[in-house]
A and B are shown apart, each in its own frame.
Chain A
Amino acid sequence: DGGITQSPKYLFRKEGQNVTLSCEQNLNHDAMYWYRQDPGQGLRLIYYSQIVNDFQKGDIAEGYSVSREKKESFPLTVTSAQKNPTAFYLCASDRGGTGELFFGEGSRLTVL
């Protein structure tokens, strides 16, 4: 079945460490997204990519970085510059033309 796979599901990090969250899709979608979810805050856009080798900052990009070397993959790196990285991270892709998003199961990052 087609879908979006995020890994790992749970991740623990010490302060000062960078960590990379994986997102892979086999839906053949061009656009991919990273959202951050905090309790009571809804989803906030971190980065998005409309095509390979191109990406744009979302509303809360500071302290994060991404790459898009392949259509299927859109990894997110949470750097030590992110002041409050503990959150639930969701990756999504867009069928195209309507903005309808398909989501992965999420990755929960906890900073110890």
Chain B
Amino acid sequence: AQSVTQPDIHITVSEGASLELRCNYSYGATPYLFWYVQSPGQGLQLLLKYFSGDTLVQGIKGFEAEFKRSQSSFNLRKPSVHWSDAAEYFCAVGDGGADGLTFGKGTHLIIQP
């Protein structure tokens, strides 16, 4: 069975500082990997996705993520955070089929002024 671990429940970062959110997955084959963002009381918005090819993927809002097969990781990064980045971030894994994604428990990002 596939699983996703986001080790950090909460992360606090100063505005303008860099950010890295960790994600580790367990999956037998090459996974399809996703990062989503959720503002309070809202649905989830896709930030970026990895299917194959270049292991460094670019997303919206200045985010990027790197797929490292040897570490079973797909960490999300941003060089300089803005106050509007405060939200809940979810990593998810799938197999490209239509049986849904498996989500991590999320990381709550707090931005300090």
Contact = CB atoms under 8 A, between A and B. Distances in A.
Chain A interface bracket (under 10, 10 to 19, 20 to 34, 35 or more): 20 to 34
Pick the most buried of A6, A30, A96, A99: most chain B CB atoms within 10 A of its CB. A99
Pick the most buried of B4, B43, B46, B97: most chain A CB atoms within 10 A of its CB. B43
Given A98-B49, A105-B43, A40 B9 contact: yes
B9 A100 contact: no
B41 A58 contact: no
Given A41-B105, A103-B43, A105-B43, A58 B100 contact: yes
Interface in A68-112: 90, 92, 94, 96-106, 108
Nearest to A31: B98
A28 interface: no
A104 to B, nearest CB: 5
Chain B interface bracket (under 10, 10 to 19, 20 to 34, 35 or more): 20 to 34
Contact of B43 (A40, A44, A56, A90): A90
Name the prevailing secondary structure of the A interface residues: strand
Interface in B52-100: 90, 92, 94-100
Interface of A: 4, 6, 30-31, 33, 35, 40-45, 48, 50, 56, 58, 90, 92, 94, 96-106, 108
A98 B96 contact: yes
B98 A96 contact: yes
24 contacts: A4-B43, A30-B98, A33-B100, A35-B100, A35-B103, A40-B9, A41-B105, A42-B90, A42-B105, A43-B44, A50-B98, A50-B99, A92-B44, A96-B98, A98-B96, A99-B34, A99-B94, A99-B97, A99-B101, A100-B34, A100-B49, A101-B92, A102-B46, A105-B42
